[in-house]
Amino acid sequence: MTAELTELIGRVVAEAEGEGLWPAGLAVAVPGLVARDARTVVRAPNLGWHDTDLGALLPADLPLTVDNEANFGALAELWLEDGTPRDFLHVSAEIGIGAAVVVDGGLLRGTRGFAGELGHVPVRPDGPACACGGLGCLEQYAGEEAVLRAAGLEPDEDRVGLLAGRAAKGDEDVRRALRDAGTALGVALTGAVNLLDPQSVVLGGELSGLAPWLLPSLREELARRTAGPACPVSVSRLGPEGPLLGAAHSVVRAVLDDPAAVAERA
């Protein structure tokens, strides 16, 4: 995986140089736990990475920032979307499910940088085993592969497209699987909402493409379980591009914050 990433970086750098440009930095969005050093992936089960120092494996001539993909998605919401509240939960998913907690306009990272691992919140303590070592984690009920299994479908390159297409055509097995996934999301989110009292929940990443079928049961579960008034749930307009846009803009903002550092490298 890192060899493929290095090859991709090399191609992009070569293309940029061919246009008379040079990269100002490199940002990598990872579906997993990233240490506060912003270069070490402590654990990313779906990639098979454990205590992986990307700073030692990727080209050393580019300033590197590694972060959880949900964090980058949340930053994209803050930086690029009008009217985004300063306190919200950003939920995104592909195979796994991640969340970012934004408090007063900044990311809440936690002591080790691991805050927001919503996918490994247990929704059924006696449920199936998860890659993290736990049982009944949200990821086992609302991750893309889990929903495909529940719907009786084989994985496809475009998992979300497959599910959305079948749901739009009225496939009841798929719709039931998505309703159940929305319920599981609502259960997991209830704990976070009751604990943190955010202004809203934003559904982003690949999940946004399934929102029409996830949201009804998700909102119903939140409304039923939340101690206070129901927390609003919205869908990110950035969709699956959110984490990529957040990663790219993190490099741009670093340049704007300290242009002198970039000039020295040039």
In SS3 terms, the chain reads as CHHHHHHHHHHHHHHHHHCCCCCCCEEEEECCEECCCCCEEEEECCCCEEEEEHHHHCCCCCCEEEEEHHHHHHHHHHHHCCCCCCCEEEEEECCCEEEEEEECCEECCCCCCCCCCHHHCECCCCCCECCCCCECECHHHHCHHHHHHHHCCCCCCCHHHHHHHHHHCCCHHHHHHHHHHHHHHHHHHHHHHHHHCCCEEEECHHHHHHHHHHHHHHHHHHHHHCCCCCCCEEECCCHHHHHHHHHHHHHHHHHHHCHHHHHHHC
Give pLDDT tens digits for 44-79.
877 888 999 998 888 878 889 999 999 999 999 999
Taking the model in full, what pTM does it have?
Answer: 0.89
Domain holding 129, by residue range, is: 82-239
Same domain, yes or no: 153 and 254: no
| Residue 191 placed within a domain | yes
Q: What is the CATH number of the domain that holds 103?
A: 3.30.420.40
pLDDT above 70 for 115:
yes
Are residue 44 and residue 136 in the same domain, yes or no?
Answer: no
Task: List Cβ neighbours of 152 (8 Å cut-off, separation of 6 or more).
Answer: 173
Question: What's the pLDDT band for 262 if we cut at 50, 70, 90?
Answer: low
Q: What is the mean pLDDT of residues 160-180?
A: 94
Domain membership of residue 51 (yes or no) is: yes
223, 250: one domain: no
Do 131 and 230 share a structural domain? yes
Same domain, 55 and 11: yes
Q: What percent of the chain has pLDDT over 70?
A: 97
Based on the fold, state whether residues 168 and 197 are members of the same structural domain: yes
248/213 same-domain check: no
39 CB-near residues (< 8 Å, 6+ apart): 53, 54, 55, 64, 65, 66
Number of domains making up the chain: 2
124 and 48 within one domain: no
Q: Which residues contact 168 (CB under 8 A, 6 or more apart)?
A: none
143 and 227 assigned to the same domain: yes
Please report the pLDDT score of residue 34 as a whole number: 93
pLDDT over 90 percentage in the chain: 56
Mean pLDDT across the chain: 89
- 75 part of a folded domain: no
